[in-house]
Amino acid sequence: MNVKDRKLREVDSETTTGILKRVITENGRDHIRGYAVAIACLMVVAATTGFIAWISETVVNEAFANRRGDTVLLICFSIFAAFVLRGLATYGQAVTLSKIGNSIVARYKRRLYMHLMALSVGYFQEKRSAQLTAKINQNVAGIRDVLNMTVTSIARDLLTLVALVGVMVSKDWLLSLIILLVAPPMLLGLRYISKRLRLATREAVEANSSVLGAVQETIQGISIVKAFTMEDELRRKVERIIDRAESRANRIARLSERTAPLTETFAGLAISSVLAYASLRTIYSNVAPGALFAFVTALLMAYDPARRLARLQLSLERAAVNARMLYEILDTVPHQRDLPGAAELTFSEATVEFRGVRFSYGNSEEILKGVSFRAEGGKTTALVGSSGAGKSTIISLIPRFYDPQSGAILIDGQDIATVTKQSLRSGLAYVSQQAYLFEGSIRDNIRYGRPEATDAEVEEAARLAYAHDFILAQPQGYDTPVGEQGMTLSGGQRQRLSIARALLRNAPLLLLDEATSALDTESEAAVQKALDQAMSGRTVIVIAHRLSTVVNADKIVVMKEGMVVEEGTHEELAHRPGGLYARLHNLQGSALELTVGADVT
């Protein structure tokens, strides 16, 4: 089996009909009334179209054979009325279907957002966020198209076609039969095209997502791009991706437009043979021209809906690919669900204990090789060790961003694997190295720490975090917008905001990843004071980069290559002969990464 066939088969794994069924069962029910209105309108469209073709026989016969001017005028007026009615019905169905489509798009966006938030941290580390966003946007539109296309095409075109074929059969059944003969070969041709199109569509969505992803990444990292003069390199890379997207788009165009010569050829064959046969018959026998006129009118009018129906399968294939790709995201099971009947975690002293924890990311090498230590309640425990020793990994296991492969983590004697994640996370606050601010005002950003906090509490937290004064100096104070479009804050200010957020949370357990990036001395001192506030009176586990943090910690846990090699206070460890900490400390802490900050002497 060659690669192309194998790919086709993979893409085929869930059939188009299966996907359509799923899309319809998940969304159809809520919009039954809307669809009923749309279908009623479409039936009016079909009926008026059929009527126009059907009545043309009477016009011709009354005008040419019976010469009845009054009847002709009456009929012509009814044709005009039929057109007006058709216009109104077309408007009605289009508006109704668009409304349903928009509501479905909104619903999928909501569903996806909720779903993405439920997925584990690991999922996002495997995916490129910008590409993921682009893919979602492209595919959501695809689902809307599946539904609207199915309804429009099936209801309008099929009904219209049935009405017109009815007219044709009633006027001349033999001729109708001749025309139906062209259908089977045409359908076979379309089937072949649609199969190829399915693969091309998936490749096109991937390629487009890569382009959008690359653009977004460049925008996000624009200062790095410029500082490292990466422009040429990136341009070449992005050009390659854009070329690929272009060639995929061309392939889709070639494939889907191949339907035109196919349908036109068969339609031409049908129409010309009908005309030839019918004209010859009219010339050589004495049949009234009215019936033939109506037949040909119906035939010509049937051409458009028939062509659209023929293409429907292709459009549905494309839309189904979008839907399928979206479901791939929606069907990703959130890795860590709470155990059935999981208990609520109750915090008392917030003592954290690691017991023989072994952990690896995915299938890679073991990162934590049996880590055991105890972080006493209300005390500060500092994790130190060279870069890559596994300190951040330890921190990320506590909120259960990941679960260890073996061993256990206990908080106040309760295994965190057996409690609800909600109760676990509500008892801890996390201050990362990079202070992340969300779109919104300064007040909103602090309030994420505890959404029900009052304005006064928000301000109190800001005061404790030494942020109140600089916040008041902003143009709109606490209501100043931050985030992407907002004004820019300094690194130290951002950190103090994220500390205020953690303070507001007032959680018994604080996880802290001290920033390594150097701040100016003044900022540094303010951040340090804010941190001291945040650390007092609660259990703190800190990845320490500052010497003062380590020296003042109640306990130091020294890590090396995924193992705890020493534990104790600074006093105990600094003078232990041959100890790793003592050695690192004597080296002025360079390998300990303790050199940051003005307090290193």
Burial class of residue 349 in the structure, from the number of CB atoms within 10 Å of its CB (0-12 exposed, 13-18 middle, 19+ buried): middle
Binding to ligand ADP (CB under 6 A): which residues in 245-264? Answer: none
Contact 333, 122 (CB under 8 A): no
Shortest distance, CB of residue 495 to ligand ADP, whole angstroms? 18
Shortest distance, CB of residue 382 to ligand ADP, whole angstroms? 13
Q: Which of 71, 247, 392, 418 is in the footprint of ligand ADP by CB under 6 A?
A: 392
Contact 359, 370 (CB under 8 A): no
Interacting span for ligand ADP (CB under 6 A) from 75-83, 169-177, 265-273, 361-369 = 361-369
Specify the residue, 234 or 565, whose C-beta has the smaller distance to ligand ADP: 565
Q: DSSP letter string over 107-146?
A: HHHHHHHHHHHHS-HHHHHHS-HHHHHHHHHHHHHHHHHH
Q: Does 388 bind ligand ADP (CB under 6 A)?
A: yes
Q: Does 361 bind ligand ADP (CB under 6 A)?
A: yes
Between the alpha carbon of residue 529 and those of residues 496, 522, 525, 535, the distances in Å are 10, 11, 6, 10
Q: Say how far apart CA 29 and CA 38 lie, in whole Å.
A: 14
* Amino acid, res. 268: G
Specify the residue, 125 or 536, whose C-beta has the smaller distance to ligand ADP: 125
Shortest distance, CB of residue 34 to ligand ADP, whole angstroms? 45
Residue 31 CA from chain centroid, whole number: 23
Q: Does 387 bind ligand ADP (CB under 6 A)?
A: yes
Q: Which residues pair with 441 in a beta bridge?
A: 481
Residue 378 CA from chain centroid, whole number: 41
Specify the residue, 312 or 389, whose C-beta has the smaller distance to ligand ADP: 389
Specify the residue, 203 or 514, whose C-beta has the smaller distance to ligand ADP: 514
Binding to ligand ADP (CB under 6 A): which residues in 367-386? Answer: 367, 385
Q: Say how far apart CA 446 and CA 501 lie, in whole Å.
A: 4
Q: DSSP letter string over 508-566?
A: SEEEEE---S---HHHHHHHHHHHHHHHTTSEEEEE--BHHHHHH-SEEEEEETTEEEE
Six-digit token pair at 173?
């059944």
Shortest distance, CB of residue 513 to ligand ADP, whole angstroms? 8
Specify the residue, 125 or 454, whose C-beta has the smaller distance to ligand ADP: 125
Shortest distance, CB of residue 530 to ligand ADP, whole angstroms? 23
Q: Does 557 bind ligand ADP (CB under 6 A)?
A: no
Helices (H) and strands (E) counted in the chain, each on its own, are 23, 12
Shortest distance, CB of residue 131 to ligand ADP, whole angstroms? 18
Shortest distance, CB of residue 392 to ligand ADP, whole angstroms? 3
Q: Say how far apart CA 327 and CA 323 lie, in whole Å.
A: 6
Q: Name the pairing type of β-strands 428-431 and 414-415.
A: unpaired
Interacting span for ligand ADP (CB under 6 A) from 76-84, 106-114, 360-368, 434-442 = 360-368
Contact 523, 497 (CB under 8 A): no
Q: Is the dihedral of CA 76, 78, 79, 83 positive or negative?
A: positive
Specify the residue, 312 or 384, whose C-beta has the smaller distance to ligand ADP: 384
Q: Say how far apart CA 347 and CA 423 lie, in whole Å.
A: 9
Specify the residue, 200 or 397, whose C-beta has the smaller distance to ligand ADP: 397
Shortest distance, CB of residue 387 to ligand ADP, whole angstroms? 4
Q: Which of 31, 318, 324, 391 is in the footprint of ligand ADP by CB under 6 A?
A: 391
Q: Does 389 bind ligand ADP (CB under 6 A)?
A: yes
Binding to ligand ADP (CB under 6 A): which residues in 118-137? Answer: 125
Q: Which of 101, 142, 305, 390 is in the footprint of ligand ADP by CB under 6 A?
A: 390
Shortest distance, CB of residue 441 to ligand ADP, whole angstroms? 32
Site string for ligand ADP, 445-484 (x = CB under 6 A): ----------------------------------------
Q: Give residues in contact with ligand ADP (CB under 6 A).
A: 125, 361, 364, 367, 385, 387-393
